[in-house]
Amino acid sequence: MEEQIKKMIIENYGSMRSFSDKIGLPNSTVVSILERGIKNSNITNVIKMCKALNISVDKLIDNNQLISTLNFDNATPIELSKDVIRIPVLGRIPAGTPIEAIEDIIGYEEIPKDWLKGGNEYFALVLEGDSMEPKYQDKDIGIFLKASDCESGQDCCIRINGFDATFKRVKKQENGIMVMPLNENNSTGFSTTFYTNDEIINKPVEIIGIIKQIRRNM
């Protein structure tokens, strides 16, 4: 595969150095990736290379390697007009078993500018899996209000163990919280999980955002 990538670089950019300059990486880094192997290299740099060559990352890297920490602080809005802003779709989040989400901007969604009143911040994620059906479906884009807490019964983006991200309903209890799928018969086998107040602090279990809206392609 690395030899095919080298050939594509030369065909499309003329030289390794021109390609490196185009994607904003040192030439030595690109050479190292191709010599060490795609699967042994920094995922973020590989993604940059794939975008420039119009290659799907999934074809080069298996899903277990592709997952990496989602940067929820990456949600910088872009102003389009006095009424509308664009927010980035930061990656994918499983509506199933928690796994790490992708640290990459994969698109943009427009939201009303007045949603930002009071200092509110938003980000978007692509939902994956069937554990939150029928209300939420695979490939829906979720618009999330960035938040560190929620009301009991709200559907939230949750980070577990400091990096794993999942989308579930949160039910609060005096001694902890329940993280619940809406579809108990989901394909991943994820069932309602209870976290004590001590586990919430020590794992940790963190609320990252509350679902505001979904966008669905029909």
Q: Is 34 helix (H, G, I), strand (E, B) or coil?
A: helix
Q: Active-site residue among 18, 148, 168, 171?
A: 168
Give the whole-angstrom CA distance, residue 79 versus residue 44: 26
Active site residue 68: no
Of 82, 201, 75, 186, the C-alpha closest to 137 is 186
Task: Dig out the tokens for 67 from the structure.
Answer: 């997952």
Q: What are phi and psi of 148, to 5 degrees?
A: -105, 0
Of 73, 109, 102, the C-alpha closest to 88 is 109
Q: Active-site residue among 131, 146, 203, 212?
A: 131
Active site residue 131: yes
3-state helix, strand, coil in the chain (%, to 5): 30, 30, 40
**Would you please indicate which residues are annotated as catalytic (active-site) residues?**
131, 168
